[in-house]
Amino acid sequence: MLGETIQKLRRARRFSQEALAEAVGVSRQTVAKWESGESVPDLHMAAALAELFGTSVDYLAERRPGDGEEGRYMFGAVRMNDRGQISLPKKCRDVFGLESGDLILVLGDVHSGIALVKLSGDMFPMPDTEGGSES
C-alpha cells in the first residue's frame, strides 16, 4: 500500500517522520496518517514525495503482492504516439500473457474510460492477411 511504501522509503533514507514532514512542507501527524493509511497524499504531494525519494508517483502507488485486492494492478502511464499507438508495460504483458499478434478488444465509455480485453483467437477469427483466404 501507499503508506507502507512511504514508510519503507522514509526509513531507507533514515528520515524521521518529522524530517520527512519538514522536507515536503506538512506536519509530522500528516506523515503518520499517510503511513497508517488513514489518509493519502494529494497528487502534488505525491509528486513531491516521489522527487524527494528519487522515484516515480507510479512506484509510490503501485500495488505489490500482499497489498490486498489481489488481481488488480496499476501498471503506470504510457504515452500514445501520433499514430494512436501505445506500448503496454512489460509487467502488464506478462501478467495477462499478451504476445505480439494477440487480438485485443478496445471498449470505451465517455464517462468511465477505456478498457482493453484480450480475446482468444476462436472468439473472433481474423481473415488471413497473408494472401490466402479463409474457407
What is the grid cell recorded at 133?
A: 483466404
User: Does residue 28 contact residue 18 with C-beta atoms inside 8 Å?
Assistant: yes
Is 36 a member of any domain?
Answer: yes
| Domain membership of residue 119 as a residue range | 75-135
The CATH number linked to 25 is 1.10.260.40
Where does residue 49 rank: exposed (0-12), middle (13-18), buried (19+ CB within 10 A)? buried
Please give the average per-residue pLDDT across 86-100, as a whole number: 89
Q: Residues near 1 by Cβ (< 8 Å), separated by ≥ 6?
A: 37, 63, 67, 68
Asked, for residue 79, whether it belongs to a domain, the answer is: yes
**47 and 94 co-located in one domain:** no
Q: What is the pLDDT, as a whole number, of residue 76?
A: 75
Q: What is the mean pLDDT of residues 69-94?
A: 83
Same domain, 51 and 79: no
Domain membership of residue 129 (yes or no) is yes
Q: Whole-angstrom Cα distance, residue 98 to residue 109?
A: 23
42 and 81 in a single domain? The answer is no
Give the per-residue pLDDT at 68.
47
At 23-75, the pLDDT tens digits run 999 999 999 999 998 888 988 899 999 999 998 888 888 765 554 456 667 77
